[in-house]
Chains A and B, each alone.
Chain A
């Protein structure tokens, strides 16, 4: 909710926010997060340090970016550094609000790195993250996700937090 309010305030538009869902997924399923691993997306990626280590991503199909970012950068062109920077900043605001809420809830800390922004196939991004978890011996990957849909339905973004399973189980014990 806090992340959605932050997004609405930043973009001066109303967004419908889905419920936060928690699930474990198979590594092979992660690249198919949006159905097709070849789907081109704009993604803002953050490594999360502190007591909630993991990864945070804001992901949007590339063909939905123009109506989302256009009003913010005053330009319908979604190419170039300006759009990437704006999307990274949106991810900062939304992701920080989300992480702060989680950190407050568990009375702990979480610190995201500066954003890395990608235009690429979602499968390439998520498959690479899945490989990290497989390398660490994880058979299932915990994911916490929510999505924001613009009131007009023109675009929607997925906010995805992938904590290390160990940190998550420790947090649950501490709560």
Chain B
């Protein structure tokens, strides 16, 4: 049983018991924020780097608004921003397309990294760029982020020890 998070959608929860997944990330970025002390989790399916306004109706859709929005929602469940770490996947360049919108995948990754840095959230694991699609899954039982790529073995992005190290600092 897993919760699928579609384009521009998000989820937040505490001690989640079911897997969360973003299937088929191409140029989009899947972002997981986690407070490893309270196990409050946030996950967003980011489609574009920048929002058209400061308060867009779907803040999880944009790289510049998803991070503060998730942090705020996670705070309501007891997460402390100072403990939160990030993992992300996606941002591929799937097509060679002339004359349109540039490399959305690369710009998505840059926007998310910039926003994470601005909010003091360290990235403990990522699998971004390239030309292949990915699925990002939060494995609730193991409490790790896992990335699947077609034709490749799964990769665990952030083993528990990375998160524990952050808590001890």
- Same complex for A and B? Answer yes
Asked if A45 and B48 sit within 8 Å, CB to CB, the answer is no
Asked if A135 and B104 sit within 8 Å, CB to CB, the answer is yes
Q: From B61, B94, B105, give the contact of A125 (CB < 8 A).
A: B94
- With CB as the reference atom, state the residue of chain B lying closest to A136: B101
Q: Which of B35-43, B74-82, B130-138, B157-165 contacts A (4 or more CB under 8 A)?
A: B130-138
Q: Which residues of B contact A118 (CB under 8 A)?
A: 94
Q: Which residues of A contact B105 (CB under 8 A)?
A: 128
Q: Which of B22-30, B64-72, B112-120, B139-147 contacts A (4 or more CB under 8 A)?
A: B22-30
Majority secondary structure, B binding face: loop
Chain B: residues with Cβ within 8 Å of the partner, total of 30
Q: Which residues of A contact B8 (CB under 8 A)?
A: 27-28
Task: Map CB proximity to B onto A35-53 as digits: 1 under 8 Å, 0 otherwise.
Answer: 0111010000101000000
CB < 8 Å A-B pair total: 98
Asked if A127 and B95 sit within 8 Å, CB to CB, the answer is no
Majority secondary structure, A binding face: helix
Q: Which residues of A contact B61 (CB under 8 A)?
A: 134
Size class of the A contact interface (CB-based, 8 Å) = 20 to 34
Residues of B whose CB lies within 8 Å of any CB of A are 4, 6-9, 23-28, 47-48, 61, 92, 94-98, 100-101, 104-105, 132-135, 150-151
Residues of A whose CB lies within 8 Å of any CB of B are 27-28, 31-32, 36-38, 40, 45, 47, 113, 116, 118-132, 134-136
